[in-house]
Amino acid sequence: MTLEVIGISVLWLFLFGYVIVASIDFGAGFFNASTIVTRKHHIVNSVIQRYLSPVWEITNVFLVFFFVGMIGFFPKTAYYFGTVLLVPISISIILLALRGSYYAFGTYGTKGHVGYTLMYGVTGVLIPASLSTALIVSQGGFIRETPTGGIELDFLSLFTSPFAWSIVALSLVSVLFISASFLAYYSSVAEDIEALNLFRRYTWIWSFPTIVTAMGIIIEMKWHNPTHYEGMLSLWWLFALSLVCFIASLWLLKKRHYGRSFIFVVLQFAIAFYAYGVSRYPYLLYPNLTIYDGFTNETMAYALITAFVFGFMLLIPSLYLVFKLFIMNKPYIQKRNS
């Protein structure tokens, strides 16, 4: 394996980590808010609160890891993505900032203000949408050269592209699907039957839109980016495997094995995510930038990988501790329900 491939694989891992933890978090916020409207809030509230409290900062760090690492391993991305994404990413930052701080205000400060909850829910769906513009732009076709030799984002073609909107749609429905599946599992651990039933229903509701939009995108890719489409076709078996995991997760859900069902949801996304990543090799940005011409110098690459290995040896035990103490600690999860 070359250094470039190691670098991008590490980053892809962070991004995947972020997609999963953030989806759970965004979706939880959305369900928390939407159930106020549908008057089912009392059912989900305690499960969601228990889960959200200790982990929200960890979610954010995954994102920071990803883009700091991206600039570290591939400094040229700072130029391309930094220049064209000023507006969409700034919007994401603002939404993330409102979300993070108001969550903290609502949880540690003044309890239970409806405004906070609603803000938390609304930003939970807007952030995936605005962040996914980075992915959309990386598919190529939305950047044009300026007369002065610079580059800029072509807003018009971005907003009128069905391909772009499909990715946005996929990001939204998969957030809700992943989140519902996890929360169903979480409520089953907490033995909160009412919440469990509700989240199981949500998982069913959001599962089919997820798979339909995902397939739609693969088909649209044919027109939008034929090179990438070819790459995807050559990996068809991976996407098929992902589909098998999807079916397995639904089957396990029906059989009421919630933990295993969630694991298959993660597997489904992991396989599709990596297949998608591999199929676009070696492009970071079609057609301007590949992982080879954007790569940092060798010394820095080794330094970053070393830092990463040491950092990870520090983090894994501490993350395990959090996991034991809060997320999967039965007495802790059940405490407020009693």
Tell me which residues touch another protein (CB under 8 A): 53-54, 57-58, 60-61, 63-65, 67-69, 71-73, 75-76, 78-83, 85-87, 89-90, 93-94, 96-98, 100-105, 108-110, 146, 148, 150, 152, 296-297, 299-300, 303-304, 307-308, 311, 314-315, 318-319, 321-322, 325-326
Q: Which two tokens stand for residue 300?
A: 């820095």
Of residues 121 through 180, those in contact with ligand HEM by CB under 6 A are none
| Beta-carbon count within 10 A of 294 CB | 24
Neighbours of 306 (CB within 10 A): 10
Q: How far is the CB of 41 from ligand HEM (least distance, A)?
A: 30
Nearer to another protein, 103 or 264 (CB): 103
Distance, CA of 316 to CA of 312 (rounded, Å): 6
What does the per-residue mask of binding to ligand HEM show for 53-92, with x meaning CB under 6 A?
-------xx--x----------------------------
C-alpha span between 28 and 47 (Å, rounded): 10
Smallest separation, CB 174 to another protein (Å): 23
Residue (67 or 206) nearer to ligand HEM, CB: 67
Taking the complex as a whole, the smallest distance from the CB of residue 195 to ligand HEM amounts, in Å, to 30
Give least dist CB 201 to ligand HEM, A: 34
Partner from another protein, ligand HEM, none contacting 287, C-beta within 5 to 8 A by type: none
In the complex, residue closest to ligand HEM by CB: 64
**From another protein, ligand HEM, none, interface partner of 185 (C-beta below 5 to 8 A by class):** none
User: What is the distance between the alpha carbons of residues 5 and 11, in angstroms, rounded to a whole number?
Assistant: 10
Q: Least distance from C-beta 187 to ligand HEM, angstroms? A: 29
Q: 3-state SS of the chain?
A: CCHHHHHHHHHHHHHHHHHHHHHHHHHHHHHHHHHHHCCCHHHHHHHHHHHHHHHHHHHHHHHHHHHHHHHHHCHHHHHHHHHHCHHHHHHHHHHHHHHHHHHHHHHHHCCCCHHHHHHHHHHHHHHHHHHHHHHHHHCCCCEEECCCCCEEECHHHHHCCHHHHHHHHHHHHHHHHHHHHHHHHHHHHHCCHHHHHHHHHHHHHHHHHHHHHHHHHHHHHHHHCHHHHHHHHHCHHHHHHHHHHHHHHHHHHHCCCHHHHHHHHHHHHHHHHHHHHHHCCCEEECCCEECCCCCCCHHHHHHHHHHHHHHHHHHHHHHHHHHHHHHCCHHHHHHHHC
Least gap, CB of 311 to ligand HEM (angstroms): 12
Report what 326 binds from another protein, ligand HEM, none; CB cut-off 5-8 Å by kind.
another protein
Least distance CB 322 / ligand HEM (angstroms): 15
Give me the least distance between CB of 280 and ligand HEM, in Å please. 27
- Closest to another protein by CB, 231 vs 294, is 294
- Considering the complex, state which of residue 60 and residue 334 has its C-beta at the smaller distance from ligand HEM: 60
| Among ligand HEM, another protein, none, partner that 318 touches (CB below 5 to 8 angstroms by kind) | another protein
Cβ closest to ligand HEM, residue 64 vs residue 303: 64
| Contact yes or no for 218/231 (Cβ under 8 A) | no
Count of residues interacting with ligand HEM (CB under 6 A): 3
Q: Which is nearer to another protein, 264 or 308 (CB)?
A: 308
Contacted by 89, from ligand HEM, another protein, none: CB < 5 to 8 Å by type: another protein
How many degrees, rounded to 5, is the angle at CA 128 between CA 207 and CA 161? 90
Question: Which residues make up the interface to ligand HEM (CB under 6 A)?
Answer: 60-61, 64
